[in-house]
Structure 1
Amino acid sequence: MTDPARKPLKKDQAYQTIRQLLLDADDPEVIYSERFLAAELEMGLAPVRSAVERLRSEGIVEMIPKSGVRIPQITYREVMDFFEVRMLLEPFIAGRLAGQVRPVQAKALKALIADQRRAATTGDTLEYHRLDLAFHSTLAEMYGNREMVHALSQMRDKMYRLSKYIHRTHPDRLATNVEQHEKVVLAILDGSCAEARQAMETHLQWGRDVNIAPADRR
């Protein structure tokens, strides 16, 4: 007998699918009607409407009267606030990890860098994008402060959108990105707290400046 608790509700399936569809959209200006989403997901309107309302309440989508929903643009102020919070947390995490990672963790970090370098070399921006997010979340999880992990996870959607924009529109910057990640890892493995903090801070400042450059502003 199938355990009903293990079967995801249609509204939850709709939520996850619509959320990912909108986050992955190449053009954030596209407006999606509920009928289009229902047809795309091959679901009824009820679970789609429930999912859309949940996404709206979480601030992930904005409603366009008589049209549908879309991902709201990220403003200059939001970018600055987003990176300010990350620059308080992530350099601290990198510094505290310096000289403290176990051999198996060091191996995992080196493997991440190798995978990122491979994706950067081949120009696989989608794979690099996934690995970029994995790099930052892995460091936070290795440090183990659950409140910090939670705080960063709360910003994951915005992190996803901003890094996806950089990777998709500037694939030439992937090499720079992976070099910065490698400097963070090397400083951590060398046990240099100050260098690890500085390397992460430099990396985040670079990401912030790329996102607020006048030619790149959304």
Structure 2
Amino acid sequence: MAANFDSDLVKVATTGVMFVAKKADGVTAPKAEINATTGAIDLVAAGAYAKEGSAADKWSALGLFNDDGVEHEFSEDTEDVKSWQSGTVRTIITGRDLTLKFGALESSPRVLEAFYGLEPGSVKVEAGGKASFKIAANAKREPFAAFFVIRDGDMLWTMHMPNAQVSEVESPKFSSGQAITWGMTVKALGDANGNLATWDITDPSLGGALELAA
């Protein structure tokens, strides 16, 4: 069989966005679409979500990220089964880790909640742009739902993590020479069915790939 090449399947994540919601509100993923007027990535009603303007009202965006984009790590813990006669005969997967690492540039309530381990929506902004929250000495990080979207032209990839948590943070630097960056790693904890996350892909070029594979 001759090799087939399709340059349309070479993807570049030209832009993207991360949304977060309370864990209880994020069990069902919303849907993402490209706004025909602005070109922005919008959330639309799905499942139990009521449409409010152009966004599902239970989800909030984490805003702009630095130009490193988002790093997706997927790793496995394995254990080799060894035999007396022929060495390793099988490798068993004992665990999997799935994370998204990024640097948030917007010092918004949602970003601060994620960075400091607070539940989404817990930081309230009062009149005049005033807000206050406490950083506890001993506290568990609140899990939340995450919805990550990347775009390349008409292509949209969305990753839904119904149960996630910030597992690592990077120290922000406060100086006059650079933007404050809230670096963090979001780790998928898995749902009741044992799934870490779900990728949903909208990509017209996949049709050609299916025809070639048939």
Give the TM-score range, shorter chain: under 0.3
TM norm structure 2:
0.21
More helix by share: 1
- Could you state the TM-score of these two structures normalised by the residue count of structure 1? 0.21
Greater Rg over alpha carbons, structure? 2
